[in-house]
């Protein structure tokens, strides 16, 4: 699906280059697909009750943390973007998933706080997209209990949970508008953060 056209500089006279849309949606990461929000939108690097960047939700979770994504690629089925998981501790244990396309071009960060990394630090996934969206899920960490039973001594936490925020994203405030239960948080419409760009 071609989204827009532009005259291509550096191409043969009369040739047209097409810019195609990519959309990356990241869903909540709790182990259970029936999620429960314990704290509504607040700061990615802030505790519940503080405004900050209003990118984070707190999810009830005490086990695996998943990177769940739906990817749209206007050019057809293929790699929509690359997702690299890494240790990104601040005051608390944190895992970052960096979105890039092409490799080296930053598109956004998904940040999972009170989370210890699962697998290889710096591992990169190639995320496939299509014109009808494509779903991918990877286990990227585990929720940890507050200090001294898991998290860092510098971290203030009110019990084991997943604090999931982002950098540079749009928020799905229409879906996640109150605390409480949400079914099938892996569904395309249940994304928490979204980025889009033209290639």
- Give tens-digit pLDDT for 180-194: 999 999 999 999 999
Please list the ranges in the chain whose pLDDT falls under 70: 1-18
Q: Give which of 141, 167, 166, 145 is closest to 157, Cα–Cα.
A: 145
Reading the block at residue 16, the tokens are 């047209």
- For residue 18, the model assigns a pLDDT of 66
Strand order in the sheet with 64-73: 115-117, 134-143, 64-73, 21-27, 193-198, 170-171
């Amino acid at each position: 699906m071609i989204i827009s056209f532009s005259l291509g500089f550096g191409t043969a006279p009369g040739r047209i280059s097409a810019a195609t849309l990519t959309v990356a949606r990241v869903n909540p990461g709790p182990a259970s697909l029936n999620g429960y929000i314990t704290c509504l939108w607040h700061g990615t690097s802030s505790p519940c009750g503080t405004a900050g960047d209003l990118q984070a939700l707190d999810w009830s979770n005490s086990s695996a943390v998943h990177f769940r994504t739906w990817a749209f690629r206007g050019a057809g089925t293929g790699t929509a973007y690359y997702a690299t998981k890494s240790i990104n501790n601040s005051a608390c244990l944190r895992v970052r998933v960096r979105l890039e396309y092409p490799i080296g071009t930053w598109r956004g960060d998904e940040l999972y706080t009170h989370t210890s990394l699962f697998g290889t630090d710096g591992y990169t996934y190639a995320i496939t997209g299509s014109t009808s969206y494509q779903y991918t899920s990877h286990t990227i960490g585990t929720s940890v209990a507050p200090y001294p039973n898991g998290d860092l001594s510098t971290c203030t936490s009110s019990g084991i949970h997943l604090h999931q925020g982002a950098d540079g994203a749009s928020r799905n405030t229409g879906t996640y508008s109150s605390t409480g239960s949400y079914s099938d948080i892996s569904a395309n419409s249940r994304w928490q953060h979204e980025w889009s760009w033209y290639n």
